[in-house]
Amino acid sequence: MRQFNFCSGPAALPQSVLLQAQQQLLDWQGRGCSVMEISHRSPEFIAVAEQAEQDLRDLLSIPRHYKVLFLSGGATAQFSAVPWNLFGGDSFRRADYLQTGHWSNKAIAEARRYGEVNVVATSAEQNFNYVPEAASWQASEGAAYLHYTSNETIHGVEFPYVPEVSCPLIADMSSNILSQPLAVEKFGVIYAGAQKNIGPSGISVVIVRDDLLDRAVAEIPRSLSWKVAADAGSMDNTPATFAWYLSGLVFKWLKAEGGVTAMAALNQRKSSLLYDFIDHSNFYHNSVALSSRSRMNVPFTLADNKLDALFVNEATEAGLLNLKGHRSVGGMRASLYNAVSLQAVQALVAFMGDFEQRNG
Ligand SMILES: *Cc1c(COP(=O)(O)O)cnc(C)c1O
């Protein structure tokens, strides 16, 4: 039986999408084989790919002067791709990075291998539990771009606004893309691994403004080049066809559910329900600054960490899966992506109340 799944990634997918994929698996469109057993260059698959792109463009109102790419290698490949694609222009080989947690740390470490990184602001001194005030940022002159992580999946910190900067703005949106409406035109590049809020692992979405496609370092590896990918319709080599198809089913599901506006309202309700419960309890605790709390990933601790294993075991038995926190921060984490229902969060809160009564 399917249970409520709070996994941080690869994360829960909508049940109706999985059922549809199951129904179509052996005999897709009456063609006698599955969608993952045909050429990516066939008209049939090209139609799947183009429809997915169009639906994503509709969902996020992506302007025409942006390319939408579907690439392999995960968000981690984009940590390398960003400097490779943007350090070859007229500006210095220098970029501004906001340091707000685990994932921005990884992006910074990778960019440092190719150029100079100026850390504009950091929340490291408080264990990454807030977004530094924009007034305190120290941007550099002539940076090729500014990079930030719009939602820190492990630390549970989310930017409540889009940064205003004078250079191209690059965002790792792996864990909050499609969770709310987005002003794409404020960005140079947006990228996201699919396995949090889009689809299965194996594919990433990169949304890149056309004028940034000619800034690559000359020696850029072919497989990291946005220009090469854009010119080839993301098919310079074989793409992750099944992941692309499944992401397309999720986009259709999102549209049917009312799109990102409906998701924003639902995500607000879900996360408020859990945060309100935690804040009214002396047993559970979330240490993220109120204004920086993530609507997608809610890390929390119990009053006594010796109860952690019991909590996870009993939750699993109660049909609430994958609540163990990331190994680097400990405690618990509930990820509340689009495919996690309000009922799932209600069930979680009811279980947490019961567990507190018995162990608090
Ligand atoms: C999960 C995650 C990544 C890493 O994604 P991979 O696809 O495993 O490379 C990067 N950034 C953020 C914000 C993430 O949540």
Residues 189-208: tens digit of each pLDDT: 999 999 999 999 999 999 99
CB-based contacts of 346, cutoff 8 Å, min separation 6: 273
In the numeric block, the tokens 């530094």 are attached to 132
CA 47 to chain CA centroid, Å, is 25
d(CA 345, CA 270): 6
Tell which one of 72, 102, 103 to mutate to probe ligand 1, the residue whose CB is within 8 A of the most ligand atoms: 103
The per-residue pLDDT for range 127-166, each reduced to its tens digit, is 999 999 999 999 999 999 999 999 999 999 999 999 999 9
Mean pLDDT across the stretch 109-127? 97
Per-residue confidence (pLDDT) for residue 302, from 0 to 100: 97
Per-residue confidence (pLDDT) for residue 341, from 0 to 100: 98
SS3 351: helix
Question: How many residues comprise the chain?
Answer: 360
> Ligand 1 centre and the CA of 353: distance in Å?
32
Q: Is 92's pLDDT higher than 90?
A: no
- pLDDT confidence bin for 90, thresholds 50/70/90: confident
Using a pLDDT cut of 90, give the percent of the chain over it: 97
Per-residue confidence (pLDDT) for residue 64, from 0 to 100: 98
Least confident of 76-85, 97-106, 326-335: 326-335
pTM: 0.98
Q: Is there a catalytic annotation at residue 103? A: yes
Q: Is there a catalytic annotation at residue 196? A: yes
Cβ-based burial of 212 (10 A; exposed 0-12, middle 13-18, buried ≥19): buried
> Ligand 1 centre and the CA of 211: distance in Å?
26
Mean pLDDT across the stretch 219-238? 98
Phi, psi of 220 (to 5 degrees): -55, 135
In the numeric block, the tokens 């109706």 are attached to 16
Ligand 1 nearest atom to the CA of residue 153, by list position: 15
DSSP secondary structure code for residue 222 in this structure: G
d(CA 229, CA 96): 25
For residue 139, what are the CA distances in angstroms to 121, 247, 249?
A: 9, 36, 40
Determine how many CB atoms are found less than 10 A away from the CB of residue 281: 17
Beta strand segments in the chain, E? 4-5, 66-71, 94-99, 116-122, 146-149, 151-152, 157-158, 169-172, 189-193, 204-209, 284-285, 297-302, 320-321, 332-335
Per-residue confidence (pLDDT) for residue 257, from 0 to 100: 98
For residues 229 and 33, the answer to whether their CB atoms sit within 8 Å is no
The per-residue pLDDT for range 21-74, each reduced to its tens digit, is 999 999 999 999 999 999 999 999 999 999 999 999 999 999 999 999 999 999
